[in-house]
A and B are shown apart, each in its own frame.
Chain A
């Protein structure tokens, strides 16, 4: 049994010291990790290398160094592996002149599915595309296209599903439906790899997270472990008050406050415990007779969080 959180015991998809560079730009750098049954979130800010990693995993691009294996083989040398792999790319990748039903049917035919009609209907039903399935993809919203692409990926009933930012452009109802779908597919024992730059999304759908920043593996493990690793990151909070300087002078004495600054009447406070600060600030404001009009955590972007993880 492996103790490395980046590795799983029964991998279906593996990267072994894999790197990819395009000219001078390094997109993925020496990543070793593996994926197995269940939902794994591939998390990282935009430009972190998630898409490059997914494209390497599918064999669309060859690693400059290291190895990639899907079901034990480099997929490009054995296309039959693709019968067990479904990819939902981030970019359009649909034929605008086709209806969603034709698109999914085409995917089923190319995948060699035995009962194309039945598989098509099942996939369309799975993503709840409904009657719009007979409309041309050119007229689809981004969220609807995402669902059509998910249906095309699922039509061959693959064991491995790779999804590149699949929730982009989806509305809250579609998002909830897709998250539930991915969780169900992971629960059925499929390897589901979902990339996202939104921590909340990954948190909701993944059992395990692989965090990528600047092409490097920044963190790996279950969501709770990643979250606990983030507790050292100071939060920045913006506070609007009619007595910002007075409040700042008083807050700087608080042990939970790491630093304060005042700029144009706006107070910014750094703390390691956001919840405690939220409770303490009103008390302090009352003590100094200050009125608070806004209390807004800021700079909690994923990018800053992951930059912190890389520096550790």
Chain B
């Protein structure tokens, strides 16, 4: 347990450098800033809800994947490149502890930054509409999407130095082009899983406005969260296996 806590806190420290904090902090606030700017010309709550849905479409398919991609692919990727991964694996701790603590560290940082974006957006929305009902849905949806993306990008970062490039191709080509065209593949899209969790929690009036975004959502909040937990568990198990079997040259 002590090793788990030590690796997690060290991962957070390594992943959250000052430069990253500033850049991603500003990026996380971007959807809120866009909403604030555009909402000035709108008066009705329905219009604000439509705007929220549009800004949400900026938050889920753009901000969450990019922030999570860069953070999560560094979690093991940087350690492998800097040869510090051998420092970790040559300790009397199970590989599963390394995999799960690195996972948690990446989730805390990426999820935290994405949560900052979600909170900022809902605060702006709350000020404009007086409704604070979106805080929990956006937080849950954002963190669920962060977890699923991290599940993919942590092992990817371990395998290749081109994780960011491959990740961007996955997000922009597969998710935002292929899946958008072939809605049957939507369960393979991490941001849509987060969107499903978000949609499952929002009040009915907002739900009506966002119905045509994030096409072919998972059937329910429960299914979205279950998928998230399942994908995370598979990712940790796979990373553990890879750490056990793969040579560190």
Query: Does residue B93 face the partner (Cβ distance < 8 Å to A)?
Result: yes
Q: A60-B247, A92-B83, A94-B84 are in contact. Are A112 and B90 (CB under 8 A)?
A: no
- Tell me the complex Cα distance, A79–B99, Å: 14
Closest Cβ of chain B: how far from A19's Cβ, in Å? 14
Interface residues on chain B, number (Cβ under 8 Å)? 25
Query: Does residue A142 face the partner (Cβ distance < 8 Å to B)?
Result: no
Query: Does residue A62 face the partner (Cβ distance < 8 Å to B)?
Result: yes
**In contact, A93 and B13 (Cβ under 8 angstroms):** no
Partner of A110, one of B86, B91, B95, B247: B91
- Select the stretch in B3-11, B193-201, B226-234 that faces chain A: B3-11
- Tell me the complex Cα distance, A89–B85, Å: 12
**In contact, B6 and A111 (Cβ under 8 angstroms):** no
Chain A neighbourhood of B93, CB < 8 A = 79, 110, 112
Interface residues on chain A, number (Cβ under 8 Å)? 29
Query: Does residue A307 face the partner (Cβ distance < 8 Å to B)?
Result: no
**In contact, A112 and B83 (Cβ under 8 angstroms):** no
**In contact, B92 and A60 (Cβ under 8 angstroms):** no
Chain B neighbourhood of A109, CB < 8 A = 2-3, 6
Closest Cβ of chain A: how far from B197's Cβ, in Å? 35
Query: Does residue A179 face the partner (Cβ distance < 8 Å to B)?
Result: no
Chain A neighbourhood of B83, CB < 8 A = 89, 91-93
Query: Does residue A308 face the partner (Cβ distance < 8 Å to B)?
Result: no
- Number of A-B residue pairs at CB separation under 8 A: 71
Q: Which of B7-21 contact A (CB under 8 A)?
A: 7, 10, 13-14, 17
**In contact, B89 and A112 (Cβ under 8 angstroms):** no
Q: A79-B95, A97-B14 are in contact. Are A107 and B87 (CB under 8 A)?
A: yes
Query: Does residue A68 face the partner (Cβ distance < 8 Å to B)?
Result: no
**In contact, B247 and A82 (Cβ under 8 angstroms):** no
Chain B neighbourhood of A92, CB < 8 A = 82-83
- Tell me the complex Cα distance, A107–B248, Å: 19
Contact with B along A14-58 (1 / 0, CB 8 A): 000000001000000000000000000000000000000001001
Chain A neighbourhood of B2, CB < 8 A = 109, 112
- Tell me the complex Cα distance, A85–B29, Å: 47
**In contact, B86 and A87 (Cβ under 8 angstroms):** yes
Query: Does residue A175 face the partner (Cβ distance < 8 Å to B)?
Result: no
- Tell me the complex Cα distance, A76–B244, Å: 7
Query: Does residue A228 face the partner (Cβ distance < 8 Å to B)?
Result: no
Q: A85-B90, A110-B91 are in contact. Are A95 and B3 (CB under 8 A)?
A: no
**In contact, B247 and A62 (Cβ under 8 angstroms):** yes
Query: Does residue A295 face the partner (Cβ distance < 8 Å to B)?
Result: no
**In contact, B89 and A60 (Cβ under 8 angstroms):** yes
Show 17 residue pairs from A and B whose CB-CB distance is below 8 angstroms, ordered by the A residue: A59-B90, A60-B248, A79-B95, A82-B90, A82-B92, A83-B92, A85-B90, A93-B83, A93-B84, A93-B87, A94-B84, A95-B84, A97-B17, A106-B10, A109-B3, A110-B93, A152-B87
Additional A-B contact list (9), CB under 8 Å, known A82-B92, A85-B90: A55-B248, A79-B89, A94-B84, A94-B87, A97-B17, A106-B6, A110-B7, A110-B88, A111-B91
- 7 closest A-B pairs by CB: A110-B91, A83-B92, A61-B247, A93-B83, A82-B92, A109-B6, A91-B83
